[in-house]
Amino acid sequence: MLLSYCTNVHPAEDLEGVVRQLREYAGPIRRAAGLDALGVGLWIPAGLARRLAAGAEDREVLRGVLEAEGLVLHTVNAFPYGGFHDDVVKHAVYRPTWAERARLDYTLDCAEVLAALLPEGADGSISTVPLAWREPWTEEDDDAATAAFAELGARLRQLRERTGRTVRVAVEPEPGCVLDTVSDVVGWLGARVDRGIDPGFVGLCVDACHLAVSFADPADAVAEIDAAGLRIVKVQASAALHVGDPRDPEARAALERFVEPRYLHQVRESGESGVLAADDLDAALAGLPGEGPWRVHFHIPLHHVPAQPLETTAGVLRRTVAEVARLSYARDVHLDVETYTWSVLPGAAVGIVDGVAAELGWARSHLLAPAPAG
């Protein structure tokens, strides 16, 4: 797998800001991690994507910085359209939806940029929203999204014919969205192949934090995708919070420190009658019974071991990558470290450069290192 880290952790909305983040963060992270080259999963906000898609000169500026800093671009995060570091993001991160033309245009702009900047002979990937937040979502919205993905596949095929570069889009299921789980994405895409969605260009992004929050089994999820004839294009290397006993006063006090206003932190509780849901951590603390373990959509640094009674789902990430590694095309899957929550992480004293470098070191040791013999 091709390892990178996602630059959506850095606030930048224009070319000058992205250039600065690559020089001040990505390059130093590569050096701190002791790497000759480092993959970056570039977040390109919509306005900048439009500028770069239209301007070869601007793309060359970006290429020059990537090369000067020893950075390699294989994948783009096109989930947040813009404003990902606003004071309040929450549900805005899912807009525009795939029922709106702006989402398709943005994704095609990112594809144009990525195709121009890919290394020779490499394929590219773009992760995207799972259609929309679950409500409001109508049958008309679903038809519009189906048509958009059909056009997307056709345009990506044309891009390959024109440039010789293959770029695939990866739909990333997330709790609370129209496509909440891996099974939802598999079912939705599979049912629409005969309506023009091309599985050669549209596959899945498996975010290990989201997978863990849904209490899905990694082996079952990967097998389901493979059996459906769909492709795992990208894996987001991420870990969620796990709480074994949410009724424990010490656990609740620890969880309250993770309540914050910027990002949505969906919670799922595993119980005898199934999985219970809350759309944010404060709502879970107020409303879920706490009779079974909780998993919280709060991306925790991969190497971080929180104080008991909190845990992380790093084990789910390790099992997910191990299952993906069994696939025939595993070497081409993009593995992107995506801990975007450093700015809201309670008690975080380490800087971004040292923190991400430590995550990359953990990923290399625990996700990419060969299994011991015997």
pLDDT digits (tens, 9 = 90+) for 228-270: 999 999 999 999 999 999 999 999 999 999 999 999 999 999 9
Q: Report residue 80: phi and psi, to 5°.
A: -75, 125
Give mean pLDDT, residues 87-110: 98
Lowest-confidence region among 225-229, 304-308, 315-319: 304-308
pLDDT digits (tens, 9 = 90+) for 117-144: 999 999 999 999 999 999 999 999 999 9
Rounded Cα distance, 291 and 32, in Å: 43
Distance of alpha carbon 322 from the chain centroid: 18
Is 193 within the bounds of a domain? yes
Report how many domains make up the chain: 1
Q: What is the pLDDT of residue 374?
A: 37
pLDDT confidence tier of residue 347, bands split at 50, 70 and 90: confident
Is 374 within the bounds of a domain? no
The answer to whether the CB of 94 falls within 8 A of the CB of 133 is yes
Q: Tokens in use for 191?
A: 């049912």
Give mean pLDDT, residues 201-209: 98
Q: Find the domain containing 6 and state its range.
A: 2-368
Is 191 within the bounds of a domain? yes
Is 275 within the bounds of a domain? yes
CA atoms within 13 A on the CB side of 143: 3
- Put simply, whether the predicted model's pTM sits higher than 0.85 gets the answer yes
pLDDT reading at 274 higher than 50: yes
Is 144 within the bounds of a domain? yes
Q: What is the pLDDT of residue 350?
A: 72
pLDDT digits (tens, 9 = 90+) for 21-73: 999 999 999 999 999 999 999 999 999 999 999 999 999 999 999 999 999 99
CA 110 vs CA 6, 290, 339: distances in Å: 15, 42, 21
Distance of alpha carbon 364 from the chain centroid: 18
Rounded Cα distance, 374 and 368, in Å: 18
Is 373 within the bounds of a domain? no
The answer to whether the CB of 234 falls within 8 A of the CB of 244 is no
pLDDT reading at 370 higher than 70: no
Nearest to 342 by CA among 270, 255, 263, 267: 263
pLDDT > 70 in the chain, percent: 98
**Residue 270 maps to which CATH number?**
3.20.20.150
Q: What is the pLDDT of residue 349?
A: 61
Is 312 within the bounds of a domain? yes
Name 215's Cβ contacts closer than 8 Å, sequence gap at least 6: 268, 270, 275, 295
